Amino acid sequence: MPGSVPVLIVTGPVGVGKTTVAQAVSDLLAQADLAHAYVDIDILRWHYPARPDDRFSARLGMKNLAAIWTNYQEYGASRLVVADVIETREDLDRYRTAIPGADIFLARLRAPLETLAQRIRQRETGSSLEWHLERAPVLAALMDRNRLEDQLVETDSKPVMQIAEEILVAWLPNR
């Protein structure tokens, strides 16, 4: 598709390793000298206080992504790697609006609930810990039910770079 922008979204429930794996994919693209940008959407959404009319600040994240994508393109990026929680097809439609010509490949990471809980306990504290522990199984079940992904990657007992390479081969087989 002329003018298309290859977009990889690494998704999965909280604690599965989206950010770590997306960063590893970005590292592999850089090693292959392939122009791209990498964004953790959580960073583009973070603000305080949250607005009740924008659950998880999804609209804000997409507005910010649209604004910076133009700058990334100006600096030579022709692909985009993103870490984000994708729950519905509407989430993907928001990406297509923010990135004109987006050709989205959705890679979903999956791990056992025990693994998610262990990872969450290692990184979260206070009320954030409880929220994430409650949210992880909800998201895991939702994603198993909706099956929006182009690729499902089981992450338990796999090194991060192996997971990243599996995704990269499926996303850009002819790099």
Tell me: the pLDDT tens digits for 82-101? Answer: 999 999 999 999 999 999 99
Q: How confident is the model at residue 113 (pLDDT cuts 50, 70, 90)?
A: very high
What is the chain's Cα-based Rg?
Answer: 16
Question: What is the model's pLDDT at position 174?
Answer: 86
Whole-angstrom distance, CA of residue 47 vs CA of residue 58: 12
Q: What pLDDT does 1 receive?
A: 46
Domain ranges of the chain: 5-169
User: What is the mean pLDDT of the segment spanning 33-54?
Assistant: 95
Residue 85 contacts residue 14 (beta carbons within 8 Å) = yes
Mean pLDDT of 113-118: 96
User: In this structure, what token pair is assigned to residue 168?
Assistant: 């990269």
pTM: 0.95
pLDDT digits (tens, 9 = 90+) for 141-168: 999 999 999 999 999 999 999 999 999 9
| Architecture (CATH level 2) of domain 5-169 | 3-Layer(aba) Sandwich (3.40)
Residues 71-85: tens digit of each pLDDT: 999 999 999 999 999
Distances (CA, A) of 132 to 100, 117, 125, 127, 149: 33, 8, 10, 9, 22
